[in-house]
Amino acid sequence: MMKEQKTVIKVTNATVRFNKSNINYNGLKEYFIKMLKRELMFQEFFALKDVNLEVKKGEAWGLIGNNGSGKSTLLKLICGILKPYKGTVEVHGNIAPLIELGAGFDRELTARENIYLNGALLGHKKAFMQENFDEIIEFAELQDFVDVPIKNFSSGMSARLGFAVATIVKPEILIVDEVLAVGDRAFQAKCKKRMEEMLSGGTTLLFVSHSINQVKELCQKAIWLDKGVVKASGNAEDVIPLYINS
């Protein structure tokens, strides 16, 4: 008898609401005057509406949909960056979120300094980062730029370093948002290979990409979002054609 897979992410009837201003204000002064007079006008905007998603340990899910469909919002909800207006989100396991590569970097500091800084933000001790320093630099292909400030890096170089630091430890849950859109083809292939190694080791993957081919290659499951609403969810081979033909 096969052992049932453990649920690691469960999103139940989750709704995310933002307030959009209806009026353009001429500077902060006018904004604060309106705020004090309670004359600010907002329009409700629902980024996600009653979304349900259950992810089992070791599954790879692709999040697909047009720009503005709510994919990144759903990832931020699962990461705990956003809280649901309604509904619940349960996560069991440590998350490595690659939503904005290099978001924890200080642009005035060098690559070397940022590796230790980013490692600390991820909860790693200095000794651990020292032990893995050479591997990080080698993966990021930045041997000649170790002591160069990040502000002088291209977006591709920063992305390589961010990915190398974030994936030095195999997380239980890996969340990737358009990472493979950054960098050259060789780097994309390295990222894909590392993610495949993590998946074969039991890591759970949530993957956002505008490349349907990448989703097909990495994910067995898919959820299609459109304007914050789930249009279809299940096996990727069933969901992807619905999205393509919509």
Nearest to 210 by CA among 72, 58, 103: 72
Residue 95 in contact with residue 240, Cβ under 8 Å? no
Tens of pLDDT, residue by residue over 6-64, are 999 999 999 998 866 555 656 666 656 656 666 555 567 789 999 999 999 999 999 99
Residues in the chain: 246
Tens of pLDDT, residue by residue over 149-165, are 999 998 788 888 888 88
Nearest to 204 by CA among 218, 225, 190, 193: 218
| The predicted structure's pLDDT at residue 121 | 80
| The predicted structure's pLDDT at residue 2 | 45
Residues ≥6 apart with Cβ < 8 Å to 115: 129, 133, 136, 137, 161, 165
Per the structure block, which two tokens stand in for 83? Answer: 């809280």
CB atoms within 10 A of CB 231: 16
Residues ≥6 apart with Cβ < 8 Å to 119: 126, 128, 129, 165, 168
Residue 94: what are its φ and ψ, rounded to 5°? -80, 140
Compare 133 and 33 and report the one with higher pLDDT: 133
| The predicted structure's pLDDT at residue 152 | 95
Q: Which fold has domain 7-244?
A: Rossmann fold (3.40.50)
- DSSP string over 107-146: TTSBHHHHHHHHHHHTT--HHHHHHHHHHHHHHHT-GGGT
Domain ranges of the chain: 7-244
Instruction: Give Cα 178 distance to the centre of its chain.
Output: 8
CB atoms within 10 A of CB 67: 7
CB atoms within 10 A of CB 144: 8
Q: Which amino acid is at 209?
A: S
Compare 31 and 123 and report the one with higher pLDDT: 123
Tens of pLDDT, residue by residue over 170-208, are 889 988 887 666 667 788 888 888 888 888 889 999 999
| The predicted structure's pLDDT at residue 94 | 85
